[in-house]
Structure 1
């Protein structure tokens, strides 16, 4: 579809250039952008009193740039523009007043709000002869948890429009390429512990059951690979000579979107004064989104056990998407050849993958196997102002 649409635009441009009598003008515009993101969805990452969700990171106003170039005949014009904003970043952090539980043991606390390999390991009833269900594995109360995310957005357009100087309105068709790249990381750091599921007994108590930790065998069975360290799992805090272990849980999500599609443009001059012009602009189109997503889970030990375990997942898919833009632009002439541009615009994109949501991309099928699938059903709104200069010749 992309090659066909590009070829069509080239053919139309060639016909326009050879059939018209003369070029009316060429226009170059350079803008400063000040944009923010809104409308991102929210999914649970940590449930309980210390709850944390993907919606806890917010991308406020960040600066970017836009360059536009157009050239036209008496009837038509070709317009190309390139925009980029790549400074979005946000993070949040909190102290968990209750333990962060890895399994479904009947204790009060916080829990991870998505399917994860750590929960599988902590619920293994027979990992090389060790029953993990006898113990409730967790980070002790007062662990620290946080979420960080970054986002970059890029927009390229190539449009064939009716000449903006011929009528008070103009319309056209074109090709648009949108790119959204995101990274996210969730972490929780605290003292690892394992207490009896039945009565909360710990090492040294008369009723304490064996195990007193999270075994290497259970972690391996859940899909973790030992990346460094002793490789002997993690021990309960009260085990003499072995505990306590400081443990960091790390979950990463990465999403790369590339949307290519055809769009229609309609613009109308709302205030056609000699000293000022105000124009409304609308664009909408259908797109194919090529999505590449990754997720990672890492267990990073320190203190009495420096083992590091990890598992990585990836997925790619193609899906339909929609994007549309609305804007209003004020043009203030400085000379016959120079204009000041002041505008506000909003772009809505549906059918994209967001970085934090990839952390929630794991699922368990009917056979009990875990699968990772790129989460690409989200939407967002990018909106803000732009200020620039336009040169005509």
Structure 2
């Protein structure tokens, strides 16, 4: 049996306000071609299908089209919710959808019930663990015996969940096993585009928690990586921050034979619109022919002009239509004094005037503007004194 492991689709996510649905659908629809070309039997999606608990109509339409293509290509699909998803919403009509080949595993109290698939070697049990928020999951998983006092940590709730999975597998001798989980497993390297699920370090889950299964398809971290040969993150299909610029996105192709895990290899994904960080003065970015290759990229511009240029984003977008982020690093470094020290002995009007000069890139307030600021500050002072 061959599985395609992917995760963290984040349908509906934006990049500094830029809609990514077109790029997301382009990459994810291409997975159907991989299903055919690579003879994939099952596509597993390890959480964060959507970017928010209440997705837009456009995002749900993209999911419908993408999953439809995967099913028509001949694969079954197993998916679980991540910390960005609403498990209850994602699990709607899951019973009916299973008949069509889409298996949504979103219910904590049923996580021990696997999707049972078959190949020439027998059965494969695929257990999907929804994202387990510790405070809620410890009660949902709690009961008699050792589960009665589950601690408030991902390690504790995932240990309880995996105990249930292992108990189910013990009743199925000879069955090969796959687990989908959405968590931060020890040894993983985070990116700057993931939503932090850490509360005092309780998010970190040791890899041995997942002992006893043939392959663990992990989600949550957006960088593809291998924790161990049988524990892997596929990463996100697109870069969702400029910190991921230049990162090769991929999925894992996982082969199971009669004995269990037979091999894993990476399948690179295309990049519909690369992310590029450009640094320099505004005029250099607008004129330098070396930047021609970035004209159709998503661009983050870091301006080094000594004085903040006027209307820089609009001017940049005349060349880089998809420039979505701008920061100005010019103006020189600070003098090392604290904010309180820099304000000592200065009037409110002086401070307000300097703020105007700063946001205008070196152009100070006019005399009329200074008079307006003085009247506003005086009115504020009188109101404060009248309290």
The structure with the greater share of residues assigned to helix is 2
TM-score normalised according to structure 1 size: 0.21
The structure with the greater share of residues assigned to strand is 1
TM-score normalised according to structure 2 size: 0.21
Higher CA-based Rg? 1
